[in-house]
A = this chain, B = another copy of it.
Amino acid sequence: MAEIEKRDLVSIEDLSTDEILELFHHADAFRDNLLGWSDLCRGSIMATLFFEPSTRTRLSFESAMVRLGGGVITAADEKNTSRSKGESLADTVRVVGGSYADILVLRHPEDGSARVAARYARVPVINGGDGSHEHPTQTLCDLYTLWKEKGRLEGLEVVLCGDLRYSRTIHSFCYALARFKANIVTLPYPGFELPDYVLGRLQRDFHVRTAAASVADLPGIAGSHNAAAYLTASQPHQLALYTSLTPVEVNRIDAIYMTRAQLERHSGEDIKNYPRLSSKTLNAAAAKDARLMHPLPRVDEIDYELDSDPRSVYFRQAELGVPMRMALMAFLLGRIQLRSKPPAHNSAATGIDARSGLRCRNERCITNGEGVRYLVRDFRIRDDQANSVAMECAYCERDLQIRYLGHLSERWYGSLAPGVANSVPLDQRVWFESDTQAEAAGYSVRGG
Protein backbone atom coordinates (compact mmCIF):
# COMPACT_ATOMS: atom_id res chain seq x y z
CA MET A 1 0.00 0.00 0.00
CA ALA A 2 1.44 3.32 -1.01
CA GLU A 3 1.79 5.72 1.86
CA ILE A 4 -0.25 8.88 1.37
CA GLU A 5 1.95 11.93 1.24
CA LYS A 6 1.50 14.21 4.21
CA ARG A 7 0.00 17.64 3.64
CA ASP A 8 1.13 20.84 5.36
CA LEU A 9 -0.32 24.32 5.54
CA VAL A 10 2.64 26.66 5.32
CA SER A 11 1.22 29.06 2.76
CA ILE A 12 -2.42 29.63 1.88
CA GLU A 13 -1.45 28.32 -1.55
CA ASP A 14 -0.91 24.87 -0.10
CA LEU A 15 -4.68 24.47 -0.39
CA SER A 16 -6.52 24.65 -3.68
CA THR A 17 -9.45 27.01 -4.10
CA ASP A 18 -11.86 24.09 -4.18
CA GLU A 19 -10.35 22.53 -1.10
CA ILE A 20 -10.80 25.78 0.78
CA LEU A 21 -14.47 25.99 -0.16
CA GLU A 22 -14.96 22.37 0.84
CA LEU A 23 -13.33 23.06 4.20
CA PHE A 24 -15.81 25.91 4.75
CA HIS A 25 -18.67 23.44 4.52
CA HIS A 26 -16.98 21.12 6.99
CA ALA A 27 -16.42 24.09 9.31
CA ASP A 28 -20.13 24.82 9.16
CA ALA A 29 -20.88 21.32 10.36
CA PHE A 30 -18.41 21.62 13.21
CA ARG A 31 -19.81 24.98 14.21
CA ASP A 32 -23.39 23.73 14.29
CA ASN A 33 -22.51 21.37 17.13
CA LEU A 34 -19.28 22.50 18.66
CA LEU A 35 -19.38 19.99 21.53
CA GLY A 36 -20.34 16.98 19.46
CA TRP A 37 -17.05 15.92 17.85
CA SER A 38 -15.00 14.72 20.76
CA ASP A 39 -14.40 11.33 19.19
CA LEU A 40 -13.23 12.41 15.74
CA CYS A 41 -9.54 12.79 16.52
CA ARG A 42 -9.36 10.72 19.67
CA GLY A 43 -5.85 9.46 20.28
CA SER A 44 -4.17 12.10 18.14
CA ILE A 45 -1.88 14.73 19.63
CA MET A 46 -1.23 18.26 18.46
CA ALA A 47 1.93 20.05 19.58
CA THR A 48 1.90 23.84 19.63
CA LEU A 49 5.43 25.18 19.28
CA PHE A 50 5.26 28.91 19.84
CA PHE A 51 8.51 30.83 19.65
CA GLU A 52 6.63 34.13 19.77
CA PRO A 53 3.90 35.10 22.21
CA SER A 54 0.32 34.67 21.01
CA THR A 55 -2.57 33.75 23.23
CA ARG A 56 -5.22 34.12 20.61
CA THR A 57 -3.81 31.83 17.94
CA ARG A 58 -2.51 29.21 20.33
CA LEU A 59 -5.73 28.93 22.33
CA SER A 60 -7.78 28.78 19.14
CA PHE A 61 -5.77 25.81 17.88
CA GLU A 62 -5.78 24.10 21.25
CA SER A 63 -9.51 24.56 21.61
CA ALA A 64 -10.07 23.15 18.13
CA MET A 65 -7.99 20.06 18.89
CA VAL A 66 -9.63 19.46 22.26
CA ARG A 67 -13.07 19.85 20.67
CA LEU A 68 -12.01 17.14 18.19
CA GLY A 69 -11.20 14.87 21.14
CA GLY A 70 -7.45 15.00 20.58
CA GLY A 71 -4.69 15.79 23.03
CA VAL A 72 -2.48 18.85 23.20
CA ILE A 73 1.11 19.37 24.26
CA THR A 74 2.43 22.90 24.37
CA ALA A 75 5.75 24.68 24.26
CA ALA A 76 4.59 28.24 24.42
CA ASP A 77 7.57 30.26 25.45
CA GLU A 78 10.94 30.30 23.76
CA LYS A 79 12.74 30.74 27.08
CA ASN A 80 11.29 27.43 28.23
CA THR A 81 12.66 25.42 25.38
CA SER A 82 15.78 23.63 24.32
CA ARG A 83 16.47 26.52 21.99
CA SER A 84 18.04 28.29 24.93
CA LYS A 85 20.56 25.46 24.80
CA GLY A 86 21.04 26.21 21.13
CA GLU A 87 18.93 23.55 19.42
CA SER A 88 17.96 24.04 15.78
CA LEU A 89 14.35 24.28 14.70
CA ALA A 90 14.94 21.28 12.44
CA ASP A 91 15.96 19.13 15.41
CA THR A 92 13.04 20.35 17.50
CA VAL A 93 10.44 19.40 14.91
CA ARG A 94 12.10 16.07 14.18
CA VAL A 95 11.87 15.17 17.84
CA VAL A 96 8.43 16.56 18.58
CA GLY A 97 7.09 15.29 15.27
CA GLY A 98 8.73 11.91 15.90
CA SER A 99 6.47 10.19 18.39
CA TYR A 100 5.37 13.07 20.60
CA ALA A 101 2.76 14.56 18.31
CA ASP A 102 0.76 13.75 15.18
CA ILE A 103 0.48 17.32 13.97
CA LEU A 104 2.53 20.44 14.69
CA VAL A 105 1.49 24.07 14.88
CA LEU A 106 4.41 26.46 14.70
CA ARG A 107 4.71 30.16 15.38
CA HIS A 108 8.20 31.54 14.85
CA PRO A 109 9.72 34.99 14.36
CA GLU A 110 11.72 34.13 11.24
CA ASP A 111 10.32 34.24 7.71
CA GLY A 112 10.29 30.79 6.13
CA SER A 113 10.56 28.92 9.42
CA ALA A 114 7.31 27.07 8.85
CA ARG A 115 8.64 25.66 5.56
CA VAL A 116 11.71 24.41 7.41
CA ALA A 117 9.47 22.73 9.96
CA ALA A 118 7.35 21.16 7.22
CA ARG A 119 10.41 19.77 5.50
CA TYR A 120 11.96 18.23 8.58
CA ALA A 121 8.89 16.99 10.45
CA ARG A 122 7.40 13.62 9.58
CA VAL A 123 3.91 14.84 10.49
CA PRO A 124 1.74 17.65 9.08
CA VAL A 125 2.84 21.15 9.97
CA ILE A 126 0.54 24.16 10.23
CA ASN A 127 2.04 27.62 10.00
CA GLY A 128 0.71 29.65 12.91
CA GLY A 129 2.62 32.71 11.71
CA ASP A 130 6.24 32.85 10.51
CA GLY A 131 7.76 36.30 10.86
CA SER A 132 6.35 38.69 8.29
CA HIS A 133 5.76 35.88 5.82
CA GLU A 134 2.34 34.26 6.21
CA HIS A 135 -0.35 33.33 8.69
CA PRO A 136 -2.56 31.13 6.55
CA THR A 137 -5.05 29.90 9.16
CA GLN A 138 -5.91 33.49 10.00
CA THR A 139 -6.55 33.93 6.30
CA LEU A 140 -8.76 30.84 6.20
CA CYS A 141 -10.79 32.23 9.10
CA ASP A 142 -11.04 35.65 7.44
CA LEU A 143 -12.18 34.17 4.15
CA TYR A 144 -14.62 31.89 5.95
CA THR A 145 -16.12 34.85 7.83
CA LEU A 146 -16.45 36.91 4.66
CA TRP A 147 -17.94 33.96 2.78
CA LYS A 148 -20.51 33.36 5.52
CA GLU A 149 -21.39 37.05 5.79
CA LYS A 150 -21.65 37.77 2.08
CA GLY A 151 -22.46 34.35 0.65
CA ARG A 152 -19.62 34.56 -1.87
CA LEU A 153 -16.12 35.93 -2.35
CA GLU A 154 -15.89 36.69 -6.05
CA GLY A 155 -16.37 40.31 -6.94
CA LEU A 156 -16.42 41.59 -3.36
CA GLU A 157 -14.91 45.01 -2.71
CA VAL A 158 -12.59 44.65 0.28
CA VAL A 159 -10.85 47.64 1.85
CA LEU A 160 -7.58 46.88 3.65
CA CYS A 161 -6.68 49.53 6.13
CA GLY A 162 -3.81 50.45 8.45
CA ASP A 163 -0.53 48.58 8.57
CA LEU A 164 -0.30 46.69 5.28
CA ARG A 165 3.44 46.40 5.43
CA TYR A 166 4.31 44.32 8.47
CA SER A 167 1.06 42.41 8.86
CA ARG A 168 1.59 38.87 7.57
CA THR A 169 -2.14 38.43 7.98
CA ILE A 170 -2.71 41.04 5.30
CA HIS A 171 -0.23 39.43 2.92
CA SER A 172 -1.79 35.98 3.07
CA PHE A 173 -5.22 37.56 2.86
CA CYS A 174 -4.29 39.51 -0.30
CA TYR A 175 -3.15 36.38 -2.13
CA ALA A 176 -6.30 34.58 -1.15
CA LEU A 177 -8.64 37.42 -2.10
CA ALA A 178 -6.94 37.62 -5.48
CA ARG A 179 -7.36 33.90 -5.95
CA PHE A 180 -11.06 34.10 -5.15
CA LYS A 181 -11.35 37.10 -7.51
CA ALA A 182 -12.31 39.65 -4.89
CA ASN A 183 -11.15 43.23 -5.49
CA ILE A 184 -8.82 44.86 -2.99
CA VAL A 185 -8.72 48.51 -2.06
CA THR A 186 -5.61 49.39 -0.11
CA LEU A 187 -5.78 52.29 2.35
CA PRO A 188 -2.43 52.09 4.11
CA TYR A 189 -1.24 54.34 6.88
CA PRO A 190 1.56 56.37 5.26
CA GLY A 191 4.80 54.42 5.51
CA PHE A 192 2.97 51.11 5.98
CA GLU A 193 2.13 50.39 2.33
CA LEU A 194 1.88 46.89 0.90
CA PRO A 195 5.47 45.76 0.17
CA ASP A 196 6.63 45.57 -3.43
CA TYR A 197 7.27 41.84 -3.23
CA VAL A 198 3.65 41.26 -2.26
CA LEU A 199 2.43 43.46 -5.12
CA GLY A 200 4.86 41.67 -7.43
CA ARG A 201 3.55 38.29 -6.48
CA LEU A 202 -0.06 39.42 -6.83
CA GLN A 203 0.70 40.56 -10.37
CA ARG A 204 2.81 37.58 -11.37
CA ASP A 205 0.93 34.71 -9.79
CA PHE A 206 -2.63 36.01 -9.71
CA HIS A 207 -2.60 38.39 -12.69
CA VAL A 208 -3.79 41.19 -10.48
CA ARG A 209 -3.86 44.68 -12.10
CA THR A 210 -3.41 47.86 -10.12
CA ALA A 211 -5.09 51.21 -10.55
CA ALA A 212 -5.37 54.33 -8.49
CA ALA A 213 -8.56 54.38 -6.47
CA SER A 214 -10.85 57.07 -5.26
CA VAL A 215 -12.76 55.96 -2.22
CA ALA A 216 -15.99 57.47 -1.05
CA ASP A 217 -15.37 59.43 2.14
CA LEU A 218 -14.61 57.17 5.10
CA PRO A 219 -14.20 59.32 8.24
CA GLY A 220 -11.56 58.03 10.64
CA ILE A 221 -9.23 56.75 7.97
CA ALA A 222 -7.82 60.22 7.64
CA GLY A 223 -4.93 60.92 5.35
CA SER A 224 -4.87 57.41 4.02
CA HIS A 225 -7.09 57.84 1.03
CA ASN A 226 -4.37 59.69 -0.84
CA ALA A 227 -2.53 56.48 -1.35
CA ALA A 228 -5.57 54.37 -2.17
CA ALA A 229 -4.98 51.72 -4.81
CA TYR A 230 -7.32 49.28 -6.48
CA LEU A 231 -6.13 45.74 -7.07
CA THR A 232 -8.29 43.54 -9.21
CA ALA A 233 -8.06 40.10 -10.69
CA SER A 234 -10.64 41.01 -13.34
CA GLN A 235 -10.30 39.78 -16.87
CA PRO A 236 -8.42 41.95 -19.43
CA HIS A 237 -11.54 43.12 -21.25
CA GLN A 238 -12.88 44.59 -18.01
CA LEU A 239 -9.53 45.87 -17.02
CA ALA A 240 -9.64 48.63 -19.59
CA LEU A 241 -11.97 50.33 -17.18
CA TYR A 242 -9.19 50.70 -14.67
CA THR A 243 -6.32 51.85 -16.80
CA SER A 244 -7.64 55.25 -17.76
CA LEU A 245 -6.26 58.29 -16.04
CA THR A 246 -9.35 58.51 -13.87
CA PRO A 247 -8.93 56.45 -10.73
CA VAL A 248 -11.38 53.65 -10.01
CA GLU A 249 -14.24 54.96 -7.95
CA VAL A 250 -15.21 52.73 -5.06
CA ASN A 251 -18.78 53.42 -4.03
CA ARG A 252 -19.77 50.12 -2.47
CA ILE A 253 -17.67 48.52 0.21
CA ASP A 254 -18.32 44.92 1.22
CA ALA A 255 -15.76 44.74 3.97
CA ILE A 256 -13.29 46.94 5.79
CA TYR A 257 -10.39 44.93 7.14
CA MET A 258 -8.63 46.92 9.83
CA THR A 259 -5.26 46.03 11.38
CA ARG A 260 -3.27 47.29 14.31
CA ALA A 261 0.22 48.70 13.82
CA GLN A 262 2.62 45.75 14.19
CA LEU A 263 4.90 47.70 16.49
CA GLU A 264 6.88 44.59 17.43
CA ARG A 265 8.11 44.21 13.84
CA HIS A 266 9.47 47.70 13.31
CA SER A 267 10.40 50.68 15.43
CA GLY A 268 10.55 54.38 15.49
CA GLU A 269 7.75 54.91 13.03
CA ASP A 270 5.31 57.60 13.96
CA ILE A 271 1.77 56.30 14.38
CA LYS A 272 0.23 59.41 15.88
CA ASN A 273 -2.42 59.67 13.18
CA TYR A 274 -2.99 55.95 12.79
CA PRO A 275 -6.57 55.40 11.57
CA ARG A 276 -9.28 54.92 14.15
CA LEU A 277 -12.69 53.73 13.06
CA SER A 278 -15.81 54.98 14.78
CA SER A 279 -19.51 54.96 14.08
CA LYS A 280 -18.87 57.86 11.70
CA THR A 281 -16.92 55.54 9.45
CA LEU A 282 -19.73 53.02 9.23
CA ASN A 283 -22.25 55.83 8.70
CA ALA A 284 -20.68 56.53 5.31
CA ALA A 285 -23.07 55.59 2.52
CA ALA A 286 -20.56 53.29 0.85
CA ALA A 287 -20.23 51.29 4.07
CA LYS A 288 -23.94 50.61 4.40
CA ASP A 289 -23.57 46.87 3.93
CA ALA A 290 -19.93 46.63 4.84
CA ARG A 291 -18.62 44.19 7.39
CA LEU A 292 -15.98 45.50 9.76
CA MET A 293 -13.23 42.93 10.29
CA HIS A 294 -10.09 42.85 12.42
CA PRO A 295 -7.76 39.95 13.17
CA LEU A 296 -7.56 41.05 16.83
CA PRO A 297 -6.09 41.97 19.20
CA ARG A 298 -7.11 45.54 18.56
CA VAL A 299 -5.46 48.38 20.35
CA ASP A 300 -7.25 51.62 19.53
CA GLU A 301 -8.05 51.22 15.85
CA ILE A 302 -11.73 50.53 16.44
CA ASP A 303 -13.88 52.46 18.86
CA TYR A 304 -15.60 50.38 21.53
CA GLU A 305 -18.89 51.99 20.51
CA LEU A 306 -18.76 49.96 17.29
CA ASP A 307 -18.84 46.65 19.17
CA SER A 308 -22.61 46.61 19.23
CA ASP A 309 -23.02 47.47 15.53
CA PRO A 310 -24.28 44.36 13.72
CA ARG A 311 -21.79 45.07 10.93
CA SER A 312 -18.87 44.63 13.35
CA VAL A 313 -17.93 41.01 12.87
CA TYR A 314 -14.49 40.87 14.47
CA PHE A 315 -15.63 38.81 17.44
CA ARG A 316 -17.54 36.47 15.12
CA GLN A 317 -14.36 36.23 13.08
CA ALA A 318 -12.48 34.99 16.16
CA GLU A 319 -15.32 32.65 17.02
CA LEU A 320 -15.28 31.07 13.56
CA GLY A 321 -11.58 30.37 14.00
CA VAL A 322 -12.27 27.31 16.09
CA PRO A 323 -14.57 25.41 13.69
CA MET A 324 -12.37 26.45 10.77
CA ARG A 325 -9.28 25.07 12.48
CA MET A 326 -11.19 21.94 13.45
CA ALA A 327 -11.93 21.34 9.78
CA LEU A 328 -8.33 21.96 8.78
CA MET A 329 -6.86 19.66 11.40
CA ALA A 330 -9.36 16.89 10.86
CA PHE A 331 -8.37 17.05 7.19
CA LEU A 332 -4.60 17.09 7.76
CA LEU A 333 -4.92 14.21 10.25
CA GLY A 334 -6.85 12.20 7.67
CA ARG A 335 -10.06 12.09 9.70
CA ILE A 336 -12.06 13.79 6.98
CA GLN A 337 -11.40 13.47 3.25
CA LEU A 338 -11.80 16.19 0.63
CA ARG A 339 -13.04 15.40 -2.85
CA SER A 340 -11.35 18.43 -4.40
CA LYS A 341 -7.97 18.27 -6.07
CA PRO A 342 -4.93 19.65 -4.27
CA PRO A 343 -3.17 22.66 -5.80
CA ALA A 344 -1.20 21.98 -8.98
CA HIS A 345 1.57 24.28 -7.81
CA ASN A 346 3.57 22.48 -5.16
CA SER A 347 5.08 25.10 -2.92
CA ALA A 348 6.79 22.39 -0.90
CA ALA A 349 9.01 21.26 -3.79
CA THR A 350 12.69 22.01 -3.61
CA GLY A 351 14.33 24.02 -6.35
CA ILE A 352 17.83 25.19 -7.04
CA ASP A 353 20.18 24.60 -4.17
CA ALA A 354 22.83 26.67 -2.47
CA ARG A 355 25.51 25.71 -4.93
CA SER A 356 24.10 28.50 -6.99
CA GLY A 357 25.93 30.96 -4.80
CA LEU A 358 22.72 32.83 -4.13
CA ARG A 359 21.74 34.13 -0.75
CA CYS A 360 18.23 35.26 0.20
CA ARG A 361 18.14 39.06 0.44
CA ASN A 362 15.52 38.98 3.19
CA GLU A 363 17.49 39.47 6.38
CA ARG A 364 14.61 38.05 8.42
CA CYS A 365 14.64 34.84 6.38
CA ILE A 366 15.50 31.75 8.42
CA THR A 367 18.26 30.93 5.93
CA ASN A 368 20.00 34.06 7.24
CA GLY A 369 18.96 33.39 10.82
CA GLU A 370 18.94 30.27 12.95
CA GLY A 371 19.07 28.01 9.89
CA VAL A 372 22.36 29.42 8.61
CA ARG A 373 24.32 26.56 10.14
CA TYR A 374 22.34 23.69 8.67
CA LEU A 375 19.92 24.75 5.92
CA VAL A 376 20.75 24.27 2.24
CA ARG A 377 19.67 27.50 0.54
CA ASP A 378 17.03 26.81 -2.00
CA PHE A 379 15.47 28.94 -4.76
CA ARG A 380 12.68 28.42 -7.23
CA ILE A 381 12.44 29.94 -10.71
CA ARG A 382 9.27 31.99 -10.93
CA ASP A 383 9.69 33.66 -14.27
CA ASP A 384 12.29 32.87 -16.92
CA GLN A 385 12.95 35.63 -19.47
CA ALA A 386 15.62 36.49 -21.96
CA ASN A 387 17.76 38.83 -19.89
CA SER A 388 16.79 37.99 -16.38
CA VAL A 389 15.31 35.22 -14.31
CA ALA A 390 12.96 35.91 -11.43
CA MET A 391 13.53 33.53 -8.56
CA GLU A 392 12.19 33.31 -5.06
CA CYS A 393 13.57 31.85 -1.87
CA ALA A 394 11.88 28.49 -1.36
CA TYR A 395 11.56 29.24 2.36
CA CYS A 396 10.41 32.85 2.73
CA GLU A 397 9.28 33.32 -0.92
CA ARG A 398 11.03 36.65 -1.26
CA ASP A 399 11.93 37.62 -4.85
CA LEU A 400 15.41 37.65 -6.32
CA GLN A 401 16.26 39.09 -9.71
CA ILE A 402 18.98 37.05 -11.47
CA ARG A 403 21.11 38.78 -14.10
CA TYR A 404 24.21 36.59 -14.37
CA LEU A 405 24.85 32.94 -15.05
CA GLY A 406 28.05 31.06 -14.27
CA HIS A 407 29.58 27.71 -15.12
CA LEU A 408 30.31 25.62 -12.02
CA SER A 409 33.39 23.67 -13.12
CA GLU A 410 34.77 26.16 -15.63
CA ARG A 411 34.42 29.04 -13.13
CA TRP A 412 33.29 31.71 -15.59
CA TYR A 413 30.15 33.85 -15.60
CA GLY A 414 28.35 36.18 -17.98
CA SER A 415 25.25 38.35 -18.40
CA LEU A 416 21.99 36.56 -18.97
CA ALA A 417 21.75 37.45 -22.64
CA PRO A 418 19.42 35.35 -24.82
CA GLY A 419 20.92 31.93 -25.48
CA VAL A 420 23.53 32.11 -22.71
CA ALA A 421 21.67 29.68 -20.47
CA ASN A 422 21.62 27.05 -23.16
CA SER A 423 25.36 27.11 -23.35
CA VAL A 424 25.65 25.80 -19.78
CA PRO A 425 24.48 22.29 -18.91
CA LEU A 426 21.73 22.21 -16.27
CA ASP A 427 23.89 20.63 -13.60
CA GLN A 428 26.63 23.24 -14.09
CA ARG A 429 24.45 26.36 -13.82
CA VAL A 430 25.29 28.84 -11.08
CA TRP A 431 23.17 31.97 -10.66
CA PHE A 432 24.16 35.43 -9.53
CA GLU A 433 22.32 38.67 -8.85
CA SER A 434 25.30 40.84 -9.68
CA ASP A 435 28.82 40.67 -11.07
CA THR A 436 30.15 41.60 -7.62
CA GLN A 437 28.53 38.49 -6.21
CA ALA A 438 30.02 36.34 -8.97
CA GLU A 439 33.50 37.76 -8.49
CA ALA A 440 33.26 37.31 -4.73
CA ALA A 441 32.41 33.65 -5.31
CA GLY A 442 35.62 33.24 -7.32
CA TYR A 443 34.19 33.36 -10.85
CA SER A 444 35.72 35.40 -13.70
CA VAL A 445 33.88 37.05 -16.53
CA ARG A 446 33.75 34.81 -19.59
CA GLY A 447 36.62 35.51 -21.93
CA GLY A 448 37.79 38.15 -19.46
Query: Could you list which residues of chain A lie within 8 angstroms of chain B, going by C-beta atoms?
Result: 31, 34-36, 38, 42-45, 47, 53-56, 59-60, 62-63, 66-67, 71-77, 79-82, 84-87, 90-92, 94-96, 98-102, 260, 263-264, 296-300, 304, 315-316, 318-323, 373-374
Contact = CB atoms under 8 A, between A and B. Distances in A.
Identical copies in the complex: 3
Contact of A98 (B92, B96, B318): B318
Given A42-B38, A98-B319, A297 B62 contact: no
Nearest to A102: B35
A299 B85 contact: yes
14 contacts: A35-B102, A38-B43, A47-B63, A55-B80, A67-B71, A85-B263, A92-B297, A95-B315, A95-B318, A95-B319, A98-B319, A99-B319, A99-B321, A304-B374
A31 B96 CA distance: 15
Given A66-B73, A297-B91, A85 B319 contact: no
B73 A45 contact: no
A47 B59 contact: yes
Given A75-B59, A98-B318, A98-B319, A297 B43 contact: no
A91 B53 contact: no
Contacts of A77: 77, 80
Which of A47, A55, A298 neighbours the largest number of chain B CB atoms within 10 Å of its CB? Answer: A55
A81 B76 CA distance: 10
B304 A100 contact: no
Contacts of A67: 43, 45, 71
A91 B298 contact: yes
A336 to B, nearest CB: 17
Nearest to A100: B63
Given A80-B55, A260-B85, A63 B99 contact: yes
Contact of A60 (B100, B300, B304, B373): B100
B297 A99 contact: no
Contact of A55 (B38, B82, B296): B82
Contacts of A85: 260, 263-264, 297, 299
Contacts of A45: 63, 66-67
